[in-house]
Structure 1
Amino acid sequence: MTSGDGANDDLVTGVLAGAGRLDRGLADATGLSRERIKALIADGQVTIDGRLAGSASAKGSAGAAFKIVMPAARQSAAAAQDIALSIVFEDEHLIVVDKPAGMVVHPAAGNADGTLVNALLHHCAGQLSGIGGVARPGIVHRIDKDTSGLLVAAKTDLAHHGLARQFADHSIERAYLAVVKGWPDPASGTIAGRIGRSAQDRKKMAVLPSEAKRGKHAITHYETLQKLYRAALVECRLETGRTHQIRVHMASIGHMLIGDQSYGRPDPALRPMLLKIGFHRQALHAAVLGFAHPANNNKMRFCSTLPADILELIEELNGSDYENQRV
């Protein structure tokens, strides 16, 4: 795949790897989301073997040559705001930040400002990739509002394409630390299952039946690092990156994240302790992020220590008062 670097529109070219739905094949080949591909097809920006692509659901053919015109970035709808950032790494291509819990990644309904994008626009003086559109400049991936930890944003379209491709082919290293209810048995393992919108609550995600045709394939590897009072500290490594993947997968095996308000049933025995320390978010932290630098292919790997609130949670769950009460 190649991409242009003109002052105006950007041209992305390549060939389809296999047959199947056009939007899926183009997403796999470019690292762009299927929704972004659908919008570009609808806008007449995609050609296949020299012909305008007519439908996202059309069948693509292996080896077919594609061209995608990426419209030049428009003025961002988000406003630059002077919000402090914990910067782990930065160069002219990308920036890695350690996001605090409580910060939304990009503006959306109910969160028009105060987001990571607002902070990045100020810090980077507007020099962010335009591929994410006016609401999400520079955003290649995201983590939930109440999840803390590492996130990379792209300053250039070249970096955005390169990082998105690595996310698409699952070569990004991502490890999360989570405090979950109970002790997983077995202590380590792999959870695989399609994740999609819950039929009972469209605001939630769920592990779908194996025969379901909707949703997306998801794989999470987990390992118990420390047994606590009625809980455990686990490391979760992602092969895929689906919405709420760790929260949904751990809840599906009976070990919801401590503090999660959406998935699973909280342990009543832990409620007084959580109230005592004021812990009100899911205990999830993006601790490791590794990738190949999209400009020079150098291996990059960053680690983030647990934030104070999760450390306090672990200390409380590991306290001497509970030594005779462990599950």
Structure 2
Amino acid sequence: MEAWALLRARTLVAEDESVLALNKPAGVSVTGERHDTDLVRMAAEDGEELFPVHRIDKVTSGLILFARTLPAHGGLTRQFAKRTADKAYLAITATTGLPAHGTIDLPLSVGRKNRVRIAAPRESIHREGDTWTVDPADVLDTRTYPSTTEFTTLWADDTHTLLAARPRTGRRHQIRVHLAWTGHPLHGDPLFDRSGEHPRTALHSWRLGLDGESGRLDLSATPGDDFWAPVADALGVEERARLLASL
């Protein structure tokens, strides 16, 4: 594992006395005792105390924000709890056929082995125009979590689609499960593809906007070549930059 000081310097997006924002590589956890190591632990072992403001999955790359003090942490996390933080992800599905814009409004629940799933039978999911929903009568009799993901299609070829996804709620695995259960799994997502053929999941935490102690924070993290690998032959560097600049 790369030393904390080197990783921090290589992935730094922004910092001040109250926050630290990094462009996390895929394959590194933010925090959690189930993992061999994580960013919070690496920082602590090097003498730096960090408090995660939000979470992204180990398989997801991109923007992650830490507070450097507990007072700053409280103010930032409240914005996520109240859903006033503006979040955007880049995602590459292993499918085509998605509309220019769409909304996936499907409740989530936790099934066997702690796996996140849609809180309804798959066959009860229906699409009306560009919105995916389930009838309330079909929702499982279990604890459920209302969940909404909005997306914009940025580009597609015969095999893949590039999306900008905005989770209006912040549930665990939300984007991954919403897309997979509507028939559009992310390229390389191990939740839905156990082949092990792909080195990483094509999901990247791209933009984050919220209010910090010293003013507005409008942050972005550029995806690396490993994110673009599934479409690298079809989508050149200049076209990628143009697409992202268009939003």
**TM-score using structure 2 length:** 0.79
The residue number in structure 2 matching 1:118 is 41
Counterpart amino acid of residue 307 in structure 1: G
Q: What are the Cα deviations for residues 248-273 of structure 1, in whole angstroms up to 9, with x where unaligned? A: 0011210000001213x69xxxx9xx
Q: Superposed, which structure 2 residues align to 1:18-167 within 5 Å?
A: 82=5, 84-85=7-8, 86-109=11-34, 111-113=35-37, 115-121=38-44, 125-128=47-50, 138-167=51-80
CA offsets 1:166-185 (integer angstroms, 9 cap, x no match):
00111111110011022243
Tell me, what secondary structure is at the counterpart of 1:84?
helix
Matched, 1:282 2:201: yes
Which of 208, 223, 241 is equivalent to 1:306? 223
Q: Displacement, 1:81?
A: 5.4
Verify the 8 A CA contact 2:160 2:231 in the aligned structure 1.
no
- The amino acid across from 2:205 in the alignment is A
Q: Which has the higher contact order (CA 8 A, sep 6+)?
A: 2
Q: TM-score normalized by structure 1?
A: 0.60
CA contact (8 A) 1:231 1:317 kept: no
Kindly provide the CA deviation profile for residues 74-97 of structure 1, in whole angstroms up to 9, marking residues without a partner as x.
Answer: xxxxxx955522111111111111
For residues 228 and 116 of structure 1, the distance between their equivalents in structure 2, rounded to whole angstroms, comes to 36
Separation in structure 1 between the aligned mates of residue 200 and residue 61 of structure 2, nearest angstrom: 10
Q: Distance in 1 between matches of 2:164 and 2:40?
A: 28
Q: Deviations over 1:227-283 (max 9, x none)?
A: 1231101110111110000000011210000001213x69xxxx9xx95xxx32210
Q: Alignment partner of 1:311: what SS?
A: helix
Aligned CA-pair RMSD = 2.3
Gaps of 5+ in 1: 1-79, 129-137, 320-327
Note the alpha carbon deviations across 1:193-234, whole angstroms, 9 max, x for none: 111212xx3242111024345121111001110012311011
- Give the secondary structure class of the aligned counterpart of 1:202: helix
Query: May I ask how many residue pairs the two structures share in their alignment?
Result: 214
Q: Residue type matched to 1:243 in 2? A: R
Are residues 1:178 and 2:91 paired? yes
Partners of 1:93 and 1:236 in 2: CA distance: 28
- Cα distance in 1 between the residues matched to 2:206 and 2:161: 16
- Matched residues in 2 for 1:97 and 1:150: separation? 6
TM superposition outliers: structure 1 runs of 4+ over 6 Å: none
Asked if the contact 2:98–2:153 (Cα under 8 Å) also holds between the matched residues in 1, the reply is: no
Contact 2:88 2:207 in 1 (8 A): yes
SS at 1:285's partner residue? strand
Larger Rg: 1 or 2?
1
* Structure 1 residue 318, shift from structure 2 partner: 4.9
Does the Cα contact within 8 Å between 1:82 and 1:122 map onto a contact in 2?
A: no
Q: CA deviation at 1:317?
A: 4.9
